[in-house]
């Protein structure tokens, strides 16, 4: 039995903790009783008139698709949430759209390819509003750049979870914080049984999007079954990505490390607390076992949303925010959802040799909370011997309340108070000389980026290697969510910041200029949900961090998480 499969058997054995139906009903977003999941495209299915700046449909499908997506204005408790509620936190109503974007500024002519962004864009089904940012059904956004022009599009990913919600008008799979309501004891038993197989877990791949070395584009989330192949041109859902190996597992790190030749992933083992490190060759669907890390603390492995690699090593983080089998079974969310904080269990960083699978370092570090590692590299002495591993992450000051910050109610309720918890670039130094302890410090003064820090990207040529620049979301306070874009200079320990009042920008994704020599020679692309309800792709110069251009969508965009770049000739 696979590690994660056996973990789920344990979840089922703990079923005493489960079975209560979610008590939260109510009339989300103004009590509109109409089914909220976007309806399939059909002639006449448009529910609102197109915006004045009507978009041009390119390559129109057999039936018309273009409209300004419909939204419900008030908050999910039925109250009007007021002007502070940004379009970033409103569900997108239309399943898909495509059209030429209106430009302000001049796009670089070398920018030739497609920027893709994945993220949760639809946070309600039937008359039920979701609880957490991470619950939303996946919405892919595309901006294709060519000859100084930009074409935009969005489309819902047709996961089983999304299709079932659309068909039945209710949540049918276990999402990050949502659990399907059981109507009677029999269906409750059925749901418990389905935990054994993992069949009740979501495949809503709303987190990442990566271009594999063989050209396939894969959307991902934390469940392994939520790996879905999409077409980067049409945004169509192509197929489920079937792993053909026998590694099994039900959950994995939402962020594999991917390049033109390989794909590295981490599979947590909840039964025998630890992690399996696996590698998949480009062109293959078979993950191969590389090695295993046994946890040093805790009743369960620490949450691994992401992890970094260097040229020769895989870095496996073990944070005190740990998976919790009991919480997985619960119908009502706990304060930390499927996780538990075990400060007493310690925090560790492990380093595995990529070639042998051997652990070369395992050190205790100060407590930390992170979703996203930024990068890692090998520190060398004058003779070229590797002395330590440096690993950087967006670190939330060991404070788990960031998870609560990301509840939709909190995101929609901004009334001017500064409620975003502090974050920093956390830099680990993991010595390879057998020392039992590693270090964790801020890589620069967090005031440089307003003490907000998440959703980062770097020049892809520097992944696993020494690097100087990181692009991320930072904060201009007061705020309840990262509201700036920041370019971090890890050498000078300074930051350059972009800010527009009331705007919610998403991950600034760095695209290098072909042929560039300088690490920051390129652009950072972010999708912005603006204060006036509009949305645009913002293109910033990677060096000066000044705006070069913006490409405006004729409608506002919901928030999104992670991005990738598909060059035209690939
Ligand atoms: C969007 C994001 O960053 C994280 C999404 C996380 C998800 C969808 C987690 C899902 C899970 C389950 C549905 C059950 C098992 C635990 C867990 C991995 C948290
Ligand atoms: C959006 C986010 C954190 C923001 C806080 O500063 C985290 C997203 C995690 C999943 O990809
Ligand atoms: Fe993420």
Task: Report pLDDT digits (tens) over 84-107.
Answer: 589 999 999 999 999 999 999 999
Average pLDDT value for residue range 199-210: 96
| pLDDT per residue as tens digits for the range 382-441 | 999 999 999 999 999 999 999 999 999 999 999 999 999 999 999 999 999 999 999 999
Residues tagged in the binding site annotation for Fe cation: 255, 305, 372, 562
Name the burial class of residue 433, with classes exposed (0-12), middle (13-18) and buried (19+) by CB atoms within 10 angstroms of its CB. exposed
Token reading at 314: 């895989």
Cα 264 from Cα 275, distance rounded (Å): 13
Structure-token match 């046994």, residue found? 294
**Strand pairing class (217-220; 509-512):** unpaired
Cα 248 from Cα 238, distance rounded (Å): 22
- List ligand 1's pocket residues with C-beta within 6 A: 134, 174-176, 201-202, 206-207, 221-223, 251, 254, 328, 338, 561
pTM: 0.88
Measured from the Cα of 421, ligand 2's closest atom is 6
- Residue 10 above 50 pLDDT? no
Among 499, 450, 412, 529, residue whose Cα is nearest residue 117: 529
Query: What are the chain's domains?
Result: 87-567 (2.140.10)
Cα 399 to middle of ligand 3, angstroms: 17
Among 182, 137, 180, 171, residue whose Cα is nearest residue 155: 137
Sequence-separated (6 or more) residues with CB below 8 Å from residue 1: 9, 248
Cα 41 to middle of ligand 2, angstroms: 31
Measured from the Cα of 207, ligand 1's closest atom is 1
Measured from the Cα of 120, ligand 1's closest atom is 1
DSSP-derived secondary structure for 377-439: EEEE-TTS-EEEEEEEEEE-TT-THHHHHTBHHHHHT--S---PPP-EEEEEEEESSS-SB-E
Return the pLDDT at 396: 98
Token reading at 253: 């790190």
Sequence-separated (6 or more) residues with CB below 8 Å from residue 13: none
Token reading at 93: 């109503």
Pseudo-torsion of CA 340, 341, 342, 343, nearest 10°? Answer: 180
Average pLDDT value for residue range 195-201: 79
77: left (phi over 0), alpha (psi -120 to 50) or beta: alpha
Among 259, 251, 264, 237, residue whose Cα is nearest residue 300: 251
Cα 472 to middle of ligand 1, angstroms: 22
Helix (H) or strand (E) holding 262: strand 262-269
CA torsion sign for 468, 469, 474, 476 is: positive
Which is more confidently placed, 31 or 531? Answer: 531
- Residue 260 above 90 pLDDT? yes
Helix (H) or strand (E) holding 294: strand 287-294
| pLDDT per residue as tens digits for the range 210-245 | 999 999 999 999 999 999 999 999 999 999 999 999
344: left (phi over 0), alpha (psi -120 to 50) or beta: alpha
Return the pLDDT at 4: 40
Q: How many residues does the chain have?
A: 570
Measured from the Cα of 175, ligand 1's closest atom is 13
Average pLDDT value for residue range 243-262: 97
Structure-token match 């099994």, residue found? 248
| pLDDT per residue as tens digits for the range 493-533 | 999 999 999 999 999 999 999 999 999 999 999 999 999 99
Greatest CA separation found in the chain?
71
DSSP-derived secondary structure for 90-156: S---SSEEEEEPEEEE---TT--EEEEE--EEE-EETTEE-SBGGGSEEEEEEEEEETTEEEEEEEE
Residues tagged in the binding site annotation: 255, 305, 372, 562
- List ligand 2's pocket residues with C-beta within 6 A: 207, 371, 402, 423, 452, 454-455, 482, 561
Token reading at 40: 């399939």
| pLDDT per residue as tens digits for the range 49-89 | 223 223 323 333 333 232 333 333 333 433 333 345 899 99
Alpha helices of 269-354 — where are they, by DSSP H?
Answer: 325-329
Query: What are the C-alpha distances in Å from 489 to residues 424, 445, 449, 520, 541?
Result: 13, 11, 11, 10, 15
- Residue 15 above 90 pLDDT? no
Name the burial class of residue 298, with classes exposed (0-12), middle (13-18) and buried (19+) by CB atoms within 10 angstroms of its CB. buried
- Ligand 1, atom 7, residue with closest C-alpha: 176
Q: How confident is the model at residue 195 (pLDDT cuts 50, 70, 90)?
A: low
| pLDDT per residue as tens digits for the range 122-135 | 999 999 999 999 99
Q: How confident is the model at residue 37 (pLDDT cuts 50, 70, 90)?
A: low
| pLDDT per residue as tens digits for the range 140-174 | 999 999 999 999 999 999 999 999 999 999 999 99
Q: How confident is the model at residue 182 (pLDDT cuts 50, 70, 90)?
A: confident
User: Picking from 99-113, 188-202, 287-301, 553-567, which range would have the lowest pLDDT averaged per residue?
Assistant: 188-202
Cα 561 to middle of ligand 1, angstroms: 14
Q: How confident is the model at residue 330 (pLDDT cuts 50, 70, 90)?
A: confident
Helix (H) or strand (E) holding 164: helix 160-168
Cα 270 from Cα 279, distance rounded (Å): 20
| Residue 560 near residue 116, CB atoms below 8 Å | no
- Residue 269 above 90 pLDDT? yes
Share of the chain above pLDDT 90, in %: 79
Cα 454 to middle of ligand 3, angstroms: 9
| Residue 179 near residue 331, CB atoms below 8 Å | yes
| Residue 67 near residue 109, CB atoms below 8 Å | no
Return the pLDDT at 31: 29
Cα 381 from Cα 377, distance rounded (Å): 13
Average pLDDT value for residue range 327-353: 94
Return the pLDDT at 6: 39
Return the pLDDT at 16: 21
Sequence-separated (6 or more) residues with CB below 8 Å from residue 176: 132, 134, 135, 202, 222, 337, 338
Return the pLDDT at 192: 66
Q: How confident is the model at residue 193 (pLDDT cuts 50, 70, 90)?
A: low
Would you give the DSSP letter of residue 57? Answer: P
Cα 437 to middle of ligand 2, angstroms: 28
Measured from the Cα of 254, ligand 2's closest atom is 11
């Amino acid at each position: 039995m696979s590690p994660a499969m056996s973990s789920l058997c344990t979840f089922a054995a703990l079923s005493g903790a489960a079975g209560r139906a979610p008590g939260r009903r109510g009339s989300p977003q103004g009590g509109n009783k109409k089914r909220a999941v976007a309806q399939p495209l059909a002639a006449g299915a448009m529910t609102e008139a197109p915006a004045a700046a009507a978009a041009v449909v390119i390559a129109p499908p057999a039936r018309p698709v273009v409209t300004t997506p419909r939204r419900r204005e008030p908050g999910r408790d039925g109250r009007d949430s007021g002007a502070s509620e940004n379009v970033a936190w409103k569900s997108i109503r239309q399943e898909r759209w495509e059209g030429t974007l209106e430009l302000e500024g001049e796009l670089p002519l070398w920018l030739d390819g497609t920027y893709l962004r994945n993220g949760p864009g639809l946070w309600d089904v039937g008359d039920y509003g979701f609880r957490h940012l991470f619950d939303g059904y996946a919405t892919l956004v595309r901006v294709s750049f060519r000859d100084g022009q930009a074409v935009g599009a969005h489309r819902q990913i047709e996961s089983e979870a999304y299709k079932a919600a659309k068909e039945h008008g209710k949540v049918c799979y276990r999402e990050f914080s949502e659990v399907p309501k059981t109507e009677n004891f029999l269906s409750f038993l059925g749901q418990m049984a389905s935990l054994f197989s993992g069949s009740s877990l979501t495949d809503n791949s709303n987190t990442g999007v990566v271009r594999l070395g063989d050209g396939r584009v894969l959307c991902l989330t934390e469940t392994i079954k939520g790996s879905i192949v999409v077409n980067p041109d049409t945004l169509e859902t192509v197929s489920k990505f079937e792993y053909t190996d026998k590694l099994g597992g039900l959950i994995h790190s939402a962020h594999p490390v991917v390049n033109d030749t390989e794909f590295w992933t981490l599979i947590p083992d909840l039964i025998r607390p630890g992690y399996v490190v696996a590698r998949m060759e480009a062109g293959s669907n078979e993950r191969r076992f590389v090695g295993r890390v046994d946890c040093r603390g805790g009743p369960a492995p620490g949450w691994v949303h992401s992890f970094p690699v260097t040229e020769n090593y895989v870095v496996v983080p073990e944070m005190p925010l740990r998976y919790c089998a009991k919480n997985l079974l619960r119908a009502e969310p706990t304060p930390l959802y499927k996780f538990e904080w075990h400060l007493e269990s310690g925090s560790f960083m492990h380093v595995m040799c990529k070639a042998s699978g051997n652990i070369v370092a395992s050190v205790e570090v100060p407590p930390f909370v992170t979703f996203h590692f930024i990068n890692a590299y090998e520190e060398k002495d004058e003779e070229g011997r590797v002395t330590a591993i440096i690993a950087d992450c967006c670190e939330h000051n060991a404070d788990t309340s960031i998870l609560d910050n990301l509840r939709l109610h909190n995101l929609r309720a901004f009334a001017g108070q500064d409620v975003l918890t502090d974050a920093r670039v956390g830099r680990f130094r993991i010595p390879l000389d057998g020392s039992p302890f590693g270090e964790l410090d801020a890589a620069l003064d967090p005031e440089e980026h307003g003490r907000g820090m998440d959703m980062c990207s770097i020049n892809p040529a520097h992944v696993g290697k020494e690097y100087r620049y990181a692009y991320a979301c930072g904060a201009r306070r007061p705020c309840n969510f990262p509201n700036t874009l920041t370019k971090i200079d890890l050498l000078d320990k300074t930051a350059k910041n972009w800010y527009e009042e009331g705007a919610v920008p998403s991950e600034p994704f760095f695209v290098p200029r072909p042929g560039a020599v300088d690490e920051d020679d390129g652009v950072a692309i972010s999708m912005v949900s603006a204060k006036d309800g509009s949305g645009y792709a913002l293109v910033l110069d990677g060096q000066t961090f000044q705006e070069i251009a913006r490409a405006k969508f004729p409608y506002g965009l919901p928030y999104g998480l992670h991005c990738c770049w598909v060059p035209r000739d690939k």
